[in-house]
């Protein structure tokens, strides 16, 4: 009875440590998510109201403008100069132009659905009214998230399981061999069985699960002190055993910002006029802010108070250019 209670207590402590660590990590994640509540403008009963994005339902009409995060998968029925950043889904950093055109082909790829908006993407410029079609787990990003929630065994867990199977095989082999030898030597059957059984219990590392749980929990706490949340303690061993980590560098291990290094004409020489024209173009644009224009404005401040904007053709991803006409002392540039 005492041995059974000890073994049961060890198993209970081991399971509790793992459960408590995962619960603590999930609690921290939910707490972080709860601090960021995004809101959306929705048309209800003929009035535009602002509600929490989680309260949006299928059939709602949402109003979107530059800077908004799309709260659900929607179909556009009204838009103006609408460009959307879909890097969350497609990985493309450049915005995609959207419109309220009708698409007949239902099997068209995700990146070509120009009349659709997807949850998790961002409005770069323009405005739109859209009908909510899918929410939550039924959205495209929700489907991706549900696939990522599948818990696959880590290499560490597989290794522990294989080690456990190895111990079981060795123990069974010893128990059967010792039992048969004792019976062959004419010893009582009950004693011949109890002796290898006691030997098997002695060989079994009852404290192994507890030791593993304590070590992994300690590692998770140390990583938490370094601002790293560990949801599954078993993943720590996988992370530590990596030799090479391959990752997409854009916007992750780099800042994702352009910096102007130099400016030159067609002959490869530095030309101040090139910088001036580029600076005027960047300063007077009113549409989509191009990362290159931002880099130009941050590189150097020029005196352009004598220039006045006359006209502008906004940047679009078909013409792939922005045109500005400015005026200086009766000379058009």
The torsion region of residue 45 among left (phi > 0), alpha (psi -120 to 50) and beta comes to: left
**Residue 153 maps to a domain:** no
**Residue 264 maps to a domain:** no
The pLDDT value recorded for residue 18 is: 66
The pLDDT value recorded for residue 151 is: 64
Give the closest residue to 130 by CA, choosing from 188, 176, 68, 190. Answer: 68
Structural domain ending residue among the three candidates 218, 252, 286: 252
- Radius of gyration of the CA atoms of the chain, in A: 32
Question: Hunting for tokens 């055109």 — which residue is that?
Answer: 101
**Residue 72 maps to a domain:** yes
Range of the domain at 82: 40-147
Q: 248 catalytic, yes or no?
A: yes
Q: What b/e string do you get for 3-37 counting C-beta neighbours within 10 Å, with b at 16 or more?
A: eeeeeeebeeebeebbeebbebbeeeeeeeeeeee
Q: How far apart are CA 87 and CA 79, in angstroms?
A: 20
Q: How far apart are CA 238 and CA 199, in angstroms?
A: 34
Mean pLDDT rounded to a whole number for the chain: 79
Residues 121 and 200 in one domain: no
**Residue 261 maps to a domain:** no
Reading the block at residue 307, the tokens are 């220039």
332 three-class SS: strand
Q: What are residue 105's phi and psi, to 5 degrees?
A: -80, 115
| Domain containing residue 285: CATH number | 3.40.1110.10
Q: Tell me the pLDDT tens digit for each residue of 39-70.
A: 888 988 888 888 888 888 888 899 988 878 89
The pLDDT value recorded for residue 74 is: 92
Residues 195 and 230 in one domain: no
Residues 46 and 142 in one domain: yes
Burial of 139 (0-12, 13-18, 19+ CB in 10 A): buried
Other CB atoms closer than 10 Å to residue 127's CB: what's the count? 15
Q: How far apart are CA 81 and CA 7, in angstroms?
A: 68
Other CB atoms closer than 10 Å to residue 43's CB: what's the count? 13
| Domain containing residue 108: CATH number | 2.70.150.10
Residues 112 and 202 in one domain: no
Q: How far apart are CA 224 and CA 30, in angstroms?
A: 15
Relative to beta strand 73-85, strand 308-316 is: unpaired
53 three-class SS: helix
pLDDT band at 312 (very low <50, low <70, confident <90, very high): confident
**Residue 96 maps to a domain:** yes
Residues 2 and 87 in one domain: no
Number of domains in the chain: 4
Residues 214 and 194 in one domain: no
Q: Which of 45, 107, 243, 248 is catalytic?
A: 248
**Residue 213 maps to a domain:** yes
Give the closest residue to 317 by CA, choosing from 287, 297, 296, 294. Answer: 287
Query: Contact at 8 Å (CB) between 233 and 242?
Result: no
Query: Contact at 8 Å (CB) between 70 and 139?
Result: no
Q: How far apart are CA 236 and CA 217, in angstroms?
A: 10
List the single range of 92-101, 119-128, 315-324 with lowest mean pLDDT: 315-324
pLDDT band at 28 (very low <50, low <70, confident <90, very high): low
Residues 290 and 193 in one domain: no
Residues 235 and 277 in one domain: no
**Residue 155 maps to a domain:** no
Question: Hunting for tokens 């530059």 — which residue is that?
Answer: 66
Average pLDDT over residues 137-164: 78
More confident residue, 283 or 152: 283
Q: Tell me the pLDDT tens digit for each residue of 220-252.
A: 778 777 777 777 777 777 777 788 887 765 544
**Residue 267 maps to a domain:** no
Residues 141 and 45 in one domain: yes
Reading the block at residue 103, the tokens are 């698409």
pLDDT band at 130 (very low <50, low <70, confident <90, very high): very high
Q: Is the pLDDT of residue 190 over 70?
A: yes
- DSSP symbols for 69-115: BP-SEEEEEEEEEEEEE-HHHH---S-EEE-------TT--GGG-TT
pTM score: 0.48
Going 290 to 294 to 299 to 304, the CA torsion angle's sign is positive
Reading the block at residue 114, the tokens are 């120009």
Residues 62 and 103 in one domain: yes
Residues 55 and 123 in one domain: yes
């Amino acid at each position: 009875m005492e041995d059974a209670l000890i073994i049961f207590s060890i198993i209970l402590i081991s399971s509790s440590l793992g459960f408590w660590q995962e619960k603590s990590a999930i609690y921290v994640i939910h707490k972080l998510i709860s601090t960021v509540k995004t809101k959306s403008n929705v048309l209800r009963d003929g009035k535009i109201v602002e509600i929490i994005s989680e309260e949006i339902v299928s059939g709602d009409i949402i109003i979107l403008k530059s800077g908004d995060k799309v709260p659900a998968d929607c179909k556009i029925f009204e838009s103006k100069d609408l460009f959307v950043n879909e890097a969350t889904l497609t990985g493309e950093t450049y915005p995609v132009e959207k419109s309220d055109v009708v698409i007949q082909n239902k099997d068209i790829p995700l990146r070509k659905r120009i009349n659709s908006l997807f949850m998790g993407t961002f409005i770069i410029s323009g405005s739109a009214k859209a009908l909510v079609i899918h929410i939550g787990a039924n959205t495209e990003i929700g489907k991706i998230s549900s696939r990522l929630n599948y818990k696959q065994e880590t290499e560490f867990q597989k290794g522990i399981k294989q080690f456990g199977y190895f111990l079981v095989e060795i123990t069974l082999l010893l128990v059967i061999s010792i039992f048969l030898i004792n019976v062959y030597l004419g010893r009582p059957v009950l004693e011949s069985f109890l002796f290898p059984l006691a030997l098997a219990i002695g060989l079994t590392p009852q404290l192994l699960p507890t030791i593993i749980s304590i070590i992994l929990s300690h590692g998770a706490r140390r990583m938490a002190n370094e601002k790293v949340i560990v949801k599954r303690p078993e993943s720590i061993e996988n992370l530590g055993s990596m030799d090479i980590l391959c990752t997409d560098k854009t916007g992750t291990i780099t800042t994702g910002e352009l910096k102007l290094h130099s400016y030159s004409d067609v002959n490869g020489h530095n030309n101040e006029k090139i910088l001036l024209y580029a600076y005027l173009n960047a300063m007077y644009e009113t549409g989509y802010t191009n990362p290159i224009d931002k880099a130009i404005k941050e590189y150097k401040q020029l005196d352009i108070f004598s220039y006045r904007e006359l006209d502008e053709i906004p940047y679009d991803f078909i013409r792939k250019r922005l045109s500005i006409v400015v005026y200086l002392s009766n000379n058009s540039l």
